[in-house]
Structure 1
Amino acid sequence: MLRFMPVGDSMTIGSAGEHTWRYRMWQHLRDTYGGPFALVGPRETLYDKAADAPTSYEYADCDPAFPRAHLAGWGEGWLHMGPLIGEAVRSCRADVLLVSLGLIDLGFYTNAEQTADNARDFVAAARAANPRVRMVVMPVIPNVRAESDAPFAAEVARFNELLAKTVADLDEPRSPLLLASPPPSYDIHLDTYDGTHPNATGEHKIAQGFAEAMYQAWDLGEPYEDDSV
């Protein structure tokens, strides 16, 4: 069985009442991957905005078979996930990491260079836990803040350049590292509900970014099919 672990921030954990891109990815793999698979991780909840805590199990009308496991947290980034990823990979026996991190880091904690260093530490920790782990990494999708905060927008652009270099530097046959990309049509004004967090079309487009990377590089699954992307 191939075990996929979604790793991310608020865009990945989602909040009460949402499907999440994790669900869209599960649907895609269910329909296109030819073997047994699972989504794994040490957490299962959504973020509850009213409680200001990750305590909700109120997913939207998802298929009951959907495995809700993940390693994602509202307000968490590379800085926070780096110390957690080794144990999560070991305990959940993860084979493939689907990683979407960085917006929180750049917005509140670290500059582009420091964030890239933390991404390298994350990769090293994941490989120490599983030397054959595969990783697909999504660049930071600039949010609405980048439209009015030029220094922040510059840090996002700089980090994405450094992330691409990091992926190229660290990629190896035994433990492949892929750089995904959101579909060109991703629009924060149409595909999010607040300029940052994905709505239904955004969820599909993020899932598509991961799915297309795996299909093109590893021939895993099939092209992502959905009318909304």
Structure 2
Amino acid sequence: MLRFMPVGDSQTIGSAGEHTWRYRMWQHLRATYGGPFRIVGPRETLYDKATDTADSYEYADPDFPRSHLAGWGEGWHHMAPLIAEAVRTQRADVLLISLGLIDLGFYTDADSTAANVRLFVSEARSANPRVAMVFLPVIPNVRADSDADFAAEVARLNELLAKAVADLEEPSSPLLLASAPESYDLNLDTDDGTHPNASGEHKIAAAFAEAMYQAWDLGEPYAG
């Protein structure tokens, strides 16, 4: 049984009332993956904007495996110290990772963030030397759209992420860089310029799904 663990920030945990891209990915895998699988992770909740706490179970459709390792306001430098235990206890085989925006926005520059990416990979492999990882670049967001310096940091981090994936690739523990959704539109695919709405959720799930299908022949093309 293949065990997938979503890892991410606010775009991955989602907030009360949403489906989340995790739900869309589960639907896709259920429809296209030919073998048994599980969605795993040490957390299950959504973020509640009204209470500023990550304790909501108010999913738009709660009838799916809600497990994840994601947090509102958490980035690479938060997840690197947590990933070994999460991989070990959840017995994760494939990590679907969407991180980086919050790091650049509040915590670290591109170079320091890239160092945390490499630490994350090392820590994950310490728990499972055969773990596979799929990385989503930082996708379009409202701050990068209006702040040229921030946009340059995003572009640099995405370049460093691609370099880390190439440098750290191992046949026994494959790393895969997904492509950012080409058609991602801040006005059409987000609620606020950062967090995905329903169409944005589909496009993020599709980015992971298409990467795994093209590189690993896992599943089928994303149908939405």
The bucket for the TM-score relative to the shorter chain is over 0.9
Q: Is 2:28–2:222's contact at 8 Å kept on the other side of the alignment?
A: yes
* Cα-Cα RMSD: 0.7
Tell me which amino acid in the other structure corresponds to 2:36: P
Tell me which amino acid in the other structure corresponds to 2:169: D
What is the CA–CA distance in structure 1 between the aligned matches of 2:16 and 2:145, rounded to whole Å? 27
Equivalent in the alignment of 2:205: 207
Whether 1:128 aligns to 2:126 is yes
180-189 vs 6-15, which moves further: 180-189
Instruction: Give ranges in structure 1 of 5+ residues lacking alignment.
Output: none
For residues 174-213 of structure 1, what are the structure 2 equivalents within 5 Å?
Answer: 174-213=172-211
What is the CA–CA distance in structure 2 between the aligned matches of 1:136 and 1:218, rounded to whole Å? 11
Residue 187 of structure 2 aligns to a residue whose secondary structure is: coil
Residue 61 of structure 1 aligns to a residue whose secondary structure is: coil
Q: 1:70 aligned to 68, 87, 106, which one? A: 68
Whether 1:54 aligns to 2:54 is yes
Q: Is 1:3–1:95's contact at 8 Å kept on the other side of the alignment?
A: yes
Instruction: Give ranges in structure 2 of 5+ residues lacking alignment.
Output: none
1:67-107 CA distances to partner (integer Å, 9 max, x unpaired)? 00000000000010000000000000000000000000001
Q: Is 2:140–2:184's contact at 8 Å kept on the other side of the alignment?
A: no
What is the CA–CA distance in structure 2 between the aligned matches of 1:155 and 1:183, rounded to whole Å? 19
Tell me which amino acid in the other structure corresponds to 1:104: I
Whether 1:4 aligns to 2:26 is no
Equivalent in the alignment of 2:215: 217
Equivalent in the alignment of 1:40: 40
What is the CA–CA distance in structure 1 between the aligned matches of 2:181 and 2:141, rounded to whole Å? 15
Q: Is 1:7–1:97's contact at 8 Å kept on the other side of the alignment?
A: yes
Q: Is 1:4–1:98's contact at 8 Å kept on the other side of the alignment?
A: yes
Q: Is 1:182–1:208's contact at 8 Å kept on the other side of the alignment?
A: no
Equivalent in the alignment of 1:104: 102
Residue 90 of structure 1 aligns to a residue whose secondary structure is: helix
Deviation at 1:182, TM superposition (A): 2.5
| TM-score when normalising by structure 2 | 0.99
Whether 1:79 aligns to 2:77 is yes
What is the CA–CA distance in structure 2 between the aligned matches of 1:89 and 1:12, rounded to whole Å? 17
Deviation at 1:150, TM superposition (A): 1.3
Deviation at 1:61, TM superposition (A): 2.6
What is the CA–CA distance in structure 1 between the aligned matches of 2:186 and 2:180, rounded to whole Å? 11
Aligned residues with identical type, % of pairs: 80
Tell me which amino acid in the other structure corresponds to 1:188: L
Q: Is 1:142–1:153's contact at 8 Å kept on the other side of the alignment?
A: no
Equivalent in the alignment of 2:92: 94
Deviation at 1:146, TM superposition (A): 1.1
How many residues are aligned here?
224
Runs of 4+ in 1 over 6 A off after TM superposition: none
What is the CA–CA distance in structure 2 between the aligned matches of 1:222 and 1:11, rounded to whole Å? 24
| TM-score when normalising by structure 1 | 0.97
Q: Is 1:44–1:68's contact at 8 Å kept on the other side of the alignment?
A: yes
Residue 158 of structure 1 aligns to a residue whose secondary structure is: helix
